Amino acid sequence: MNCGDFSAQQTTRGRQRLEAVSRHWVSLVLEHGGAMAQMRSHRGYLERLRENTGYLTPQAEALTEPLRQTTEDLGLGDLGDEALYLWNTLFDPRDILDLIKSGRTEDEAASRLVAALRGALIGWATAPDRRDD
């Protein structure tokens, strides 16, 4: 089952839904292995996302609402595309496969990545915005 369908079928919300969808992604990476790792582009994620690059759309649709709910629950506000950017950075198929090859179980890898995402979302939302200086 793809991430979009999986996400839509979830009855939980916020962090629980985000964790379920993220764990499902890790399972998909392990199931499809190197084929998913080869889908990486030399263009930046935000650029491709904002241009509606076809293969990113299902992933974004699966994660947008769980990420929005999670940042809301954490009191961070809606980080929009930047929350998707952080998720994409941490859940890179190449790095998931590397974690598994280095001895982490699927459950350990997923748990640590979800915890790291939570920290990244908090750090991103609370960092000073230097654009106004």
Q: What is the pLDDT of residues 40-65, one digit of tens each?
A: 567 888 888 888 888 888 889 999 99
**Percentage of the chain lying above the pLDDT 70 cut:** 92
Whether the pLDDT of residue 36 is over 80: the answer is no
CA–CA separation, 76 and 83 (whole Å): 11
Q: What is the pLDDT of residues 72-109, one digit of tens each?
A: 999 999 999 999 999 999 998 889 999 999 999 999 99
The pTM for the full model equals: 0.85
**What pLDDT is recorded for position 34?**
67
Residue 117's SS3 state is helix
